[in-house]
Structure 1
């Protein structure tokens, strides 16, 4: 009898975990950049870890969710796919996201799974650019936000050793706002003090994805040093740099999520004399209220 009970419990747990993959959260995060000026409520939507191989949210629904946020800028922080035959599928998602038509465009970086394409990643990058999205591979792009320069610094995947931080910063101006896109949050550990970063956006960890055993991430290998310090999701200050880790929209391994939900993040950036920054990380649930979208 106990085996039947265990089997039924496991079945229900997996069913609930699979159901969670269809239940994205639209999460609001407000960030004030201190000692700078010229930025007034810039709304940035971050999408991360779409993982075409295990993606439960349709392209049309993703478009609706992103459009509802009315972003000024869309950024995407890696891990879109890992198989060549899914490039066309990913491009369909990008077409729907592109239809949102944010004022300042769409900027992307690659993650470790994207590099499983090998040399075919160049073909993928060309297809992304052909759609009018910008893929940053250890490079930067400066755009004008009402007279204030915003430099987007795209660092390629740190996990597989594809990152070149020095090259990424080669043409970065001193003035203005510096927004860093880096798929692997551990990138921050390799950044030097003179690598200007007002805000770093990343993904990679999926918020643990299947959190059946508390704190298992502390001992799991392959995710680098930050999870060992319980830096797994949400907003953190690491080595004096403010970092946000998205839980992502897709799944890796199994198409399940437990105590984690697919996430679309809406970052509202502004400048001012003071910023809400703490060395002790608040849980994601303690940030600005999330709008759960069925």
Structure 2
């Protein structure tokens, strides 16, 4: 009984510490210099938010705005997994409205993740709600933004995990000129890109940095090929392409984080010949 109480107490303290971590976001800055391209971008500040998970997020909309306002983003991108329950759409809208109040010069764009597709046919309602806040959803499509004379091609690939991605369709209207920034919730998407799919930088989420990051966790719950190579967060080169995997802002399953913290990322892009 004595040892049982000690073990139970240790587990309770660990869970309490892990829950506390969900309130402690990290703001990361990543410098990316893309060379050998036509055009020039001196410092484009791209704010990435991923995996908000309305069912288990500890950061309030007002707190989120307070955190991102000083970063002065030029562009905001959201890389999927906003919710998996229809009634939480109204809650998501409050977060999106606060993000819009930061007034990014080139707008807010997003893609869907696997949890969003748990809504089934109602995902169209989710898209309509998101776009009512002036955020643009990219579903296997692209859009080109003029960044002071240099084209930035935003390529949004739908969720790869549940087979919703259509990579050829996503790239079919991408101009030959410009910088190709790919948004795809599941980082494993990068493994199915063909050689002719030109990618200058890719942003993903999905893996939560392990969330409750204990040894061999991904062997118990595999989430694609990349975790097998210990690629679960941060900046990596995969098949000759540069990818960043966000740890995400919310949580899945349980509202706890161990060896991981909620993440807000500012990518500072520079482009030169």
Please give the range of the TM-score, normalised by the shorter of the 2 chains: over 0.9
Q: TM-score, normalised by structure 1?
A: 0.91
Give the C-alpha shift of residue 216 in structure 1: 2.7
Q: What is the aligned partner in structure 2 of residue 292 from structure 1? A: none
Please give the per-residue CA displacement for 1:89-130, whole angstroms capped at 9, x wherever unaligned: 001111111111100000000000000001111011011111
Report whether the alignment pairs 1:260 with 2:260. Answer: yes
Give the C-alpha shift of residue 4 in structure 1: 1.1
Q: What is the aligned partner in structure 2 of residue 52 from structure 1? A: 54
Q: TM-score, normalised by structure 2?
A: 0.98
Question: Which residue of 132, 136, 139 maps to 2:138?
Answer: 136
Q: What is the aligned partner in structure 1 of residue 30 from structure 2? A: 29
Q: What is the aligned partner in structure 2 of residue 188 from structure 1? A: 190
Matches within 5 A, 1:210-289: 210-211=212-213, 213-217=214-218, 219-272=219-272
Q: What is the aligned partner in structure 1 of residue 98 from structure 2? A: 96
- Alpha-carbon distance between aligned partners in 2 of 1:248 and 1:127, rounded to the nearest angstrom: 22
Please give the per-residue CA displacement for 1:182-201, whole angstroms capped at 9, x wherever unaligned: 00000000001111110000
Give the C-alpha shift of residue 155 in structure 1: 0.1
Structure 2: tracts of 5 or more residues without a match: none
Say which SS state the counterpart of residue 41 (structure 2) adopts: coil
Structure 1: tracts of 5 or more residues without a match: 274-294
Q: What is the aligned partner in structure 2 of residue 205 from structure 1? A: 207
Q: What is the aligned partner in structure 1 of residue 11 from structure 2? A: 10
Q: What is the aligned partner in structure 2 of residue 280 from structure 1? A: none
Pick closer, same or farther for the CA change 1:221–1:6 going to 2, 3 Å.
closer
Give the C-alpha shift of residue 220 in structure 1: 3.2
Give the number of aligned pairs.
271
- Alpha-carbon distance between aligned partners in 2 of 1:214 and 1:272, rounded to the nearest angstrom: 41
RMSD: 0.9
- Alpha-carbon distance between aligned partners in 2 of 1:166 and 1:220, rounded to the nearest angstrom: 33
Please give the per-residue CA displacement for 1:26-56, whole angstroms capped at 9, x wherever unaligned: 0011011121241111000000000000010
Report whether the alignment pairs 1:171 with 2:173. Answer: yes
- Alpha-carbon distance between aligned partners in 1 of 2:133 and 2:206, rounded to the nearest angstrom: 24
- Alpha-carbon distance between aligned partners in 1 of 2:148 and 2:201, rounded to the nearest angstrom: 19
